[in-house]
Every structure is written in C-alpha cells, then in structure tokens.
C-alpha cells in the first residue's frame, strides 16, 4: 500500500529546497544568489481513519482535505456496555 489518499489519490510530490545568500536589491543589496539546491519531497497530510467500506469497518489512509470535504463515511459509534453480574 503506497503513501497516498484512498479517496482522491493525492500522494507525495518532488520539489527543491533552494538556499540563497546575499541581500535583496529592494533592501539596497546586489541581489540574491542561489548557493545550493537540494531535492526533497512534499508529503500530503494523511491520517489513518476508520471508514465504512461495503458495510465493514476498515482503516484507510485519508488526506485531511477529503475529510473536510465530507468524502469519508465514518462508522457509527459503538454503544457497548459490559454486562453487570446480578448480586447473589
């Protein structure tokens, strides 16, 4: 199972971390210069959530934006109460 949302398929994307040195021209400098570019990954905000799938309760990885949008069907709360033993 890959690290992506079960509903929308949102997954990690590639990007760069760019380090710059110098003073911006707006602030009176000669401008910013790139000194290093490092590859990195941006991860989605995935949560492990109980969902209803074909009438059964399953754990799935779901992104926060799908939960906010209401795409996730959550199972009903259990009303389990232990049996009380009768007094002798």
Inside any domain, residue 79: no
Inside any domain, residue 80: no
Residue 77 lies in a domain: no
- Radius of gyration, alpha carbons of the chain: 25
- Residue 1: pLDDT band with limits 50, 70, 90: low
Q: Which domain holds residue 17?
A: 13-69
Domain count, the chain: 1
Residue 75 lies in a domain: no
The answer on pLDDT for 73 being more than 80 is yes
Cα–Cα distances (Å) from 14 to 6, 20, 47, 60, in that order, read: 20, 20, 21, 24
Give the global pTM: 0.68
**pLDDT per position as a tens digit, 48-61:** 999 998 989 999 99
DSSP secondary structure letters along 26-77: GGTSS--EEEEEEEEEEPP-EEEEEEEETTEEEEEEEEHHHHHHT---PPPP
């Amino acid at each position: 199972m890959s690290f992506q949302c079960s509903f929308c398929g949102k997954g990690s994307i590639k990007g760069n971390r760019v380090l710059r040195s110098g003073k911006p021209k707006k602030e009176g400098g000669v401008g910013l210069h790139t000194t290093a570019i490092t590859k990195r990954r941006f991860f989605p905000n995935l949560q492990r959530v109980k969902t209803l799938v074909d009438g059964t309760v399953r754990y799935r990885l779901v992104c926060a934006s799908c939960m906010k949008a209401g795409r996730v069907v959550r199972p009903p709360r259990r009303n389990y109460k232990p049996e009380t033993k009768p007094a002798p």
